[in-house]
Amino acid sequence: MLTTVGGKPLKEALAHAQSRAKRRAFLLVLPLLAFIVVSFIFPIGQMLYKSVSNTGFTISKDFGTGVSTPIMTNLAEWFEENPQGTDPDETAYAALAADLLVLRELKAPGQAGTRINYELSGSRSMFTKAARKAKKLAPPFKESIIDLDEDWADPSLWQAMRTASSAVTVNFYLAALDRKRADDGSVEMVPENRQVYVTLFKRTLILSLMITVICFFLAFPIAHLMATLPMRKSNLLMILVLLPFWTSLLVRTTSWMIVLQSQGVLNDAMVATGILADENRIQMMYNQTGTVIAMTHILLPFMVLPLYSVMSMINPSYVRAARSMGATSWTAFRRIYFPQTVPGIGAGALLVFILSVGYYITPALVGGADGQLISNLIAFHMTKSLNWSLAAALAAILLGAVLLLYWLYDRLIGIDNLKLG
Amino acid sequence: MADSHTDGAFVEFDRVQKSYDGENLVVKDLNLSMPKGEFLTMLGPSGSGKTTCLMMLAGFETATHGDIRLDGQPINNIPPHKRGIGMVFQNYALFPHMTVAENLSFPLEVRKIPKAEREAKVKHVLEMVQMGDFGGRRPAQLSGGQQQRVALARALVFEADLVLMDEPLGALDKQLREHMQFEIKRIAENLGITVVYVTHDQTEALTMSDRVAVFEDGRIQQLAPPDELYESPDNSFVAQFIGENNTLEGVVKEIKNGIALVQLDGGGLIDCKPVNVTKAGERTRVSIRPERVEFNKERLSADAHTLKAEVLEFIYMGDIFRTRLRVAGKEDFIIKSRNAPDQVRLEPGSEIEIGWMADDCRALDA
């Protein structure tokens, strides 16, 4: 082992000598670290937890006092004792009756019903109705409960209650992939007319890919031009490229609405010049075309900037050298220039793709029905249907897809090759 | 300057002018012709037009006026990739995403040379620059000197008759640079290639070249072999630019027997060789090399004019002594003397008399 002149181990001496600088460096990054933990890692963890947590049917929280009370405990016990596929017998209905009484006291039948309603629409009212009459229920409970509503005998309702009564579930993920538990507990596709999410995921990926490719083809020449023009002109171009950045996203999107709508600037111009008959106005908005056009425009700078920064670092003498060696300008571009821009292409494509996969406002405004992306549905579940768990599951799948992509990129190109600017 | 129409010239610039903005000429009426196998250096300060000339020859810039001919053929309208000129760039321009062997193989690939032949040529040229074991490395893994060798090899591998070099040694340290100067010279001589070499380092120009073209202000100020350039500069710019030089200003008093007698502004009369002066009364700037100044009276001819000088500073430089003097009112007059056993070390403060052979002191343009 190497030692210092004083006899101390060299590694130890080095660590000691650097410890002060390391401590100071750590203190400098501490605020950012704390900020990221609080504002980023913690919420993402919460979201991932929400996507598997299943407390709607197991715990009732009184928001006034903050006290959490377990609910549906009797039924949970019965589910535990009786395996999947057992027909609910008198004891099961007795347990249900006892639990309904608890719900009534806690004023929580709505919450439990909502949870089951996610799986089986229309069942919320069954819970509120049954809880209202819980005191009047008498043995035999099976008959008296089925008397209230014959849907209580529905096996799929019992399957829904079974899955809802465990604290952790993958059902939201199943739902997010257009799948559900069958009555016997196996996984099956939901009926075709209710399949939305897989199609939407596919559409999101395809549209994002399309936007990325279009951005690449638009950005490459302009970035090249900026990298080769003299400073003054390239600065002007840079300002033009960045101009959209300085305008509000909403303003940009609404301008596209003005341009693209069927009575809009573009259609009017084409009709006025006779390219288009008045009755043949092209529908460029409230569909995928609108989403792609507006998002390409908005995300273009994210492709231009990494490309420009990489290209401006490529010395023009590389291409000159290739030309002097006998390469045509096309060969010089293909073999020498283009390979050196790959880190910029990778960075730009990754940026644009990841941003567009999670894009919300623009598709919401110009997308119409078939230009919606998965983020619009996540927002829908966050704000309208209030099924946060499903929203979280959808978001988690999106996050997983992006991470997968990132991993693939690392394997294929190498993340240390990424040049963002 | 060279004739504009020389028979058998390999590279020829004929009344070439170049302007980038339509207002200023970067290259003004350039005429140059060089025979096959010559090593010619374009030397000049930055902005003198030498690199522009090289780029016009390579085809990356077009001449605004005039003809450039290669082996008798005008090449103004031939794109760079069809000129078949090898080129070594200032920053080497080795393709960073290719290995050394791939770099060298590139010019052969675009020429559609079969694989086996390509490999043989790459191997041969790598050995020529003593880089035989480095074919699999990336340029980033090589030292500056090694990159330089690869760049040279790449310019030679497709057997171009003409190789252009744009300040190829600028990024190397002094010792390596001197070594590479000889290496490049040796390889160029062995292969019999014609080389146009651009540099702003006059030592490099003097040691390597058959002829040196000194550029200034878009013109060739003098085109001559190194010894002629150093010993008989045509004008005061060349005298100043090449080597160390003492200048004194004055007026020609008379010209007699090929010797001009010059009355210095700071007082004193000296003998000069009239170069750019023709008659008495003209203003002139005389130029004398520090090592040609003599202060030992016994070695000067009896009738030679001498100047009084005061020793200001004595610097020991190992192989030579460098002494700064006050001469004719100027305090930057330098003399160099060889560190020989019998050499006198001048004491600062002492008064001496200096003189020279009239031929070594050139009366140039004012």
A37 is a domain residue = no
Query: Looking at the predicted structure, is the pLDDT value of residue B2 above 50?
Result: no
B85/A324 touch (CB, cutoff 8 Å), yes or no: yes
Asked if A206 and A327 sit in the same domain, the reply is: yes
A258 is a domain residue = yes
Query: Looking at the predicted structure, is the pLDDT value of residue A64 above 80?
Result: no
Q: What's the mean pLDDT in A17-27?
A: 90
A324/B158 touch (CB, cutoff 8 Å), yes or no: no
Which member of A323, A336, A339 has the closest CB to residue B80?
A323
Helical spans, DSSP H, in A247-315:
249-260, 265-272, 288-311
User: For the segment A257-304, what is each residue's pLDDT rounded down to a tens digit?
Assistant: 898 888 888 889 989 898 888 888 888 888 888 899 999 998 999 999
Asked if A233 and A114 sit in the same domain, the reply is: no
Please say which residue of A193, A218, A245 terminates a domain: A193
* Cα nearest neighbour of A326 on chain B: B81
Angstrom distance (rounded) from CA A201 to CA A399:
12
* Cα nearest neighbour of A315 on chain B: B93
Does A270 contact B at CB distance below 8 Å?
no
Contacts (Cβ under 8 Å, ≥6 apart) of B316: none
Lowest mean pLDDT among A164-173, A228-237, A269-278, B133-142: A164-173
Chain B hits for A339, CB-CB cut-off 8 Å, are 97
Angstrom distance (rounded) from CA B113 to CA B111:
6
B83/A324 touch (CB, cutoff 8 Å), yes or no: yes
pLDDT at site A419: 62
Asked if A236 and A146 sit in the same domain, the reply is: no
Chain A hits for B84, CB-CB cut-off 8 Å, are 326
Angstrom distance (rounded) from CA A385 to CA B203:
83
Confidence band for B1, pLDDT divided at 50, 70 and 90? very low
A12 is a domain residue = no
B110/A331 touch (CB, cutoff 8 Å), yes or no: yes
A336/B59 touch (CB, cutoff 8 Å), yes or no: no
Asked if A155 and A218 sit in the same domain, the reply is: no
A45 is a domain residue = no
Does A283 contact B at CB distance below 8 Å?
no
Q: Tokens 């080129």 correspond to what residue?
A: B87
Please say which residue of A147, A171, A193 terminates a domain: A193
User: For the segment B291-341, what is each residue's pLDDT rounded down to a tens digit?
Assistant: 989 888 777 777 778 888 999 999 999 999 999 999 988 888 999 999 988
Return the closest-CA partner of residue B254 out of B287, B277, B285. B277
AA identity, residue A238: M
Does B96 contact A at CB distance below 8 Å?
yes
Asked if A148 and A211 sit in the same domain, the reply is: no
Confidence band for A57, pLDDT divided at 50, 70 and 90? confident
Q: How far does the CA of residue B85 sit from the closest CA of chain A (Å)?
A: 6
User: For the segment B187-203, what is each residue's pLDDT rounded down to a tens digit?
Assistant: 999 999 999 999 988 88
A113 is a domain residue = yes
DSSP states of A310-336? HHTTS-HHHHHHHHHTT--HHHIIIII
Query: Looking at the predicted structure, is the pLDDT value of residue A339 above 60?
Result: yes
Which member of B93, B97, B107 has the closest CB to residue A326?
B107
A374 is a domain residue = yes
User: For the segment A377-394, what is each residue's pLDDT rounded down to a tens digit?
Assistant: 999 998 988 888 899 999
Query: Looking at the predicted structure, is the pLDDT value of residue A221 above 90?
Result: yes
pLDDT at site B4: 44
Q: What is the mean pLDDT of chain B?
A: 89
pLDDT at site A421: 55
pLDDT at site A280: 83
Q: What's the mean pLDDT in A89-97?
A: 86
Angstrom distance (rounded) from CA A385 to CA A121:
12
Rounded CA Rg of chain B:
25
Asked if A262 and A164 sit in the same domain, the reply is: no
Probe site for chain A from B78, B88, B95, B104 (most A CB atoms < 10 A): B95
Query: Looking at the predicted structure, is the pLDDT value of residue A420 above 70?
Result: no
Asked if A231 and A180 sit in the same domain, the reply is: no
pLDDT at site B325: 92
CA distances from B195 to A327, B27, B209 (A): 21, 20, 9
pLDDT at site A72: 83
Asked if A165 and A267 sit in the same domain, the reply is: no
Contacts (Cβ under 8 Å, ≥6 apart) of A228: A311, A316
Does A239 contact B at CB distance below 8 Å?
no
Number of residues that this document lists for chain B: 366
Chain B hits for A340, CB-CB cut-off 8 Å, are 96-97
Burial class (CB in 10 A: 0-12, 13-18, 19+), A273: exposed
Q: What's the mean pLDDT in B140-161?
A: 91
* Number of domains, chain A: 2
Q: How far does the CA of residue B135 sit from the closest CA of chain A (Å)?
A: 18
* Cα nearest neighbour of B88 on chain A: A321
CA distances from B331 to B248, B272, B310 (A): 11, 21, 9
Asked if A187 and A272 sit in the same domain, the reply is: no
Chain A hits for B80, CB-CB cut-off 8 Å, are 320, 323-324
pTM for the predicted model, two decimal places? 0.77
User: For the segment B67-100, what is each residue's pLDDT rounded down to a tens digit?
Assistant: 999 988 899 889 999 998 999 998 899 999 999 9
pLDDT at site B3: 42
Does A312 contact B at CB distance below 8 Å?
no
Specify the CATH number for the domain of residue A211. Answer: 1.10.3720.10
- Provide the token pair at A118: 């996610």
Does B110 contact A at CB distance below 8 Å?
yes
The angle, 0 to 180 degrees and rounded to 10, between the axes of the packed helices A42-52 and A388-412 is: 120
Does B170 contact A at CB distance below 8 Å?
no
B95/A325 touch (CB, cutoff 8 Å), yes or no: no
Query: Looking at the predicted structure, is the pLDDT value of residue A322 above 80?
Result: yes
Chain B hits for A310, CB-CB cut-off 8 Å, are none
A368 is a domain residue = yes
User: For the segment A94-143, what is each residue's pLDDT rounded down to a tens digit?
Assistant: 888 888 888 888 888 888 888 888 888 888 888 888 888 888 877 888 88
Asked if A309 and A377 sit in the same domain, the reply is: yes
Beta strand segments in B167-277, E: 194-199, 211-216, 219-224, 246-256, 259-264, 269-274
What are phi and psi for residue B29, nearest 5 degrees?
Answer: 50, 70
Confidence band for B7, pLDDT divided at 50, 70 and 90? low
**Residues of chain A with pLDDT > 90: what percent?**
28
Asked if A389 and A270 sit in the same domain, the reply is: yes
User: For the segment B270-293, what is each residue's pLDDT rounded down to a tens digit?
Assistant: 888 888 888 888 899 999 999 989
**Residue range of the domain that includes A97:** 59-193
Q: Cα dihedral angle (A78, A80, A86, A91), rounded to 10 degrees?
A: -10
Angstrom distance (rounded) from CA A158 to CA A147:
16
Please say which residue of A193, A224, A250 terminates a domain: A193
Asked if A182 and A240 sit in the same domain, the reply is: no
Query: Looking at the predicted structure, is the pLDDT value of residue A418 above 80?
Result: no
A94 is a domain residue = yes
